[in-house]
Structure formats: structure tokens, C-alpha cells
Amino acid sequence: MAFDSFSEFLAMGGHAPYVWSAWGVTALLLLATVWHARAEQRQLIKGLKRRARRANSARGNAQ
Amino acid sequence: MWAFIHKLGSPKWFYGISAKLQPWFWAAAALLIVTGSLWGLAFAPADYQQGNSFRIIYVHVPAAFLAQSIFIAMAVSGLVFMVWKIKVADMAAAVMAPLGAAMTFVALFSGAVWGVPTWGTWWMWDARLTSMLILLFLYLGVIALRGAFTSRDSASRAASVLAMVGVINIPIIKYSVDWWYTLHQPASFTLTSRPAMPTEMWLPLVIMVLGFYCFFIALTLMRTRSEILRREANKHWVQELVAGQVVKVPAEEAR
């Protein structure tokens, strides 16, 4: 461990604003890309399923 | 060989194989990034000159590596698409661009923030920083170009050409620190010699770099699968795949 206490860890030897903003922006962007990819996938599959159901019921009505 | 390339190029085959590969890359990415972050932030010793601000290296370097590698991957995919007409290559190239732009931004931002306590300035128009800024504009250009065409094929070809031409910027970024006098230090890692840092400083960095690469692969697999569904929505195999999942839904819901 490079720090003696948690508050020292947070303070980063006076470099807290630099270290935490750089790490924070990185973490935020990585998480945002994952969130976006998941939302995109869900939305696509939902749309495809809706279309398939509509096709199914159309076929059902025709019979 | 040709059979393999064509199999690889089949969206249906890719959709199946990527589903199997994806979880491994996500797991590796999570494990490596969490380990590397804890190690780099809390356990690696402070730098004797820079103090704790050097811990920015653990996000700055992996992001800069990815920023450049993704552009190369995009250019190679563009070439594969142009020469062999393999559509999956173009889909992969399309979904890579936003992550590449994000990583370039992270490299620039973390570098600027790091520059304040270390160099006394957040920006300098030196060769390394300027060529990285150009990389960001190239990514944005590729993304904008894709959106600028109504025909998908024209968009794909234009984006491929821009990626293949723009890749010339990558060696410029790489060698900028050697060719010109820059504020940015030369590479910390080379394949031929041991890094000048102590092991407990560079090992977490290697872990972070590997973690970022796994993240890139996992995300690209995931988003290429979505792109396949988007572009192949009318194909028989996609409709069969979806139909197989819809049948289980009770008839009431289907109305």
C-alpha cells in the first residue's frame, strides 16, 4: 500500500484534482460505452421481436 | 483458406461465434481493469519526481494505445471490405469508430490534466499532442462521413477510404517524439528493452493495457452483433432466430 490512510489515498498527495478527474473521465466513458451498447442491443432485439409477432398474428388472422 | 475467409465473412457465422467469445473477453477485461486500477491507484509506489500525479499513466497510456490500435484496426477492416467485399469487416469498422474517438479524447484529456502539475501547462502545440488531436478529428470525420450518405455502400466505401488514408497519421504519432523536439517524453515501453520503471510500477500498467484491449474486443464483438441484426433484419436466418424466441411468448401478449 502506497498510502497510510484512506483520506491520504483520496488526497493523492495534493494531486487529487488531476488524478481523480483523469480517472473519473476514463471510467465514465468506458461505462457509458457499455451502457450504450447494451441499450442498442436491447432496442434492436425488441424491435425485431415486435416485427416477428406482428407477422405471426397477421398470418394467424389470414387462416 | 478462401473457404475460411468466406466463413469468417458470413454474418450468420460471425453472429454465432462472437456470442461464444464475448463473455470471455468481458470477464478478462473486468478482471484486468479492476486489478490494474487497484494496483495502480493504491499499491504502486509514488514517483520520486512526480509524486502521485504519475498515477494518471494507468489510464493515459492504455487509452492512447487503444486510440491508435483502433484506427489501425479500422483501416485494416476498411481494406478487407474494399478488397474482398466482406460486409462484417465494414460493420466492425463502423462500430469501432466511436470507441476510438472516446479513447483519443481520454488520452488527450488525461494528458492535459497530467500536464498541469508536470509541465506547468495543459496544452502545447507540439508534434505529439497535435498529431493526437488530428487523430480525434479523423475519427470524427469517419463517423460524420458514414452519416453523410443515404446509400450504405457509398458510406462504407467513403469511410473505408478515409480510414486507410488517415492511418498515415499513426506512424506520425508514434515517431513524433523522436523526429521532433517535443514536450512529450519518448515511449516508456519498447519491445527490445526493459522499461526504466520498477516492476511494481510497470506491471499494473501492462495489466491495464491488456484490460483495455480485452474491453475493445468485447465491445466490438457485442456491437458488431447488433450491427448485424440491424443490417440483416430482413434476412431469413435473422427472422428464424427471432421467430424461435417469439414462439415461446403466450398468444395473449402477441396481440
pLDDT over 90 at B5, yes or no:
no
Per-residue model confidence (pLDDT) at position B184 = 84
SS3 B250: coil
Q: How much of chain A, in percent, has pLDDT values that exceed 70?
A: 97
Residue A53 vs residue A63, higher pLDDT: A53
CA separation, residue B171 to residues A3, A4, B84, B110, B128 (Å): 39, 43, 26, 22, 11
Is pLDDT at B181 greater than 50 in this prediction? yes
Q: What is the pLDDT of residue B1?
A: 63
For residue B115, which amino acid is it?
G
- Stretch among A28-37, B120-129, B186-195 having the lowest mean pLDDT: B186-195
Q: Which residues does B153 contact at the CB level (< 8 Å), separation at least 6?
A: none
- With 60 as the cut, is the pLDDT of residue B65 above it? yes
Q: Which 8-state DSSP code applies to residue B47?
A: B
Residue B248 pLDDT: 53
pTM of the model: 0.91
In the prediction, which pLDDT does B113 show? 94
Residues B22-47: pLDDT tens digits? 999 999 999 999 999 999 999 998 88
Read off the pLDDT band of B159 (50, 70, 90).
very high
> Which pLDDT band holds residue B120 (cuts at 50, 70, 90)?
confident
**Nearest-angstrom CA–CA distance, B47 and B43:** 12
**Which residues lie closer than 8 Å to A47 by C-beta, 6 or more apart?**
none
Instruction: From B150, B156, B25, B24, select the one nearest B89 (Cα to Cα).
Output: B156
Cβ <8 Å between A23 and B41: yes
Grid coordinates representing B150 are 443515404
Cα distance between residue B159 and residue B91, in whole Å: 11
Interface of A with B in 1-60 (CB under 8 A): 1-3, 9, 12-15, 18-19, 21-23, 25-26, 29-30, 32-34, 37, 40-41, 44-45, 48-49, 51-53, 56-57
Residue B147 CB neighbour total at 10 angstroms: 8
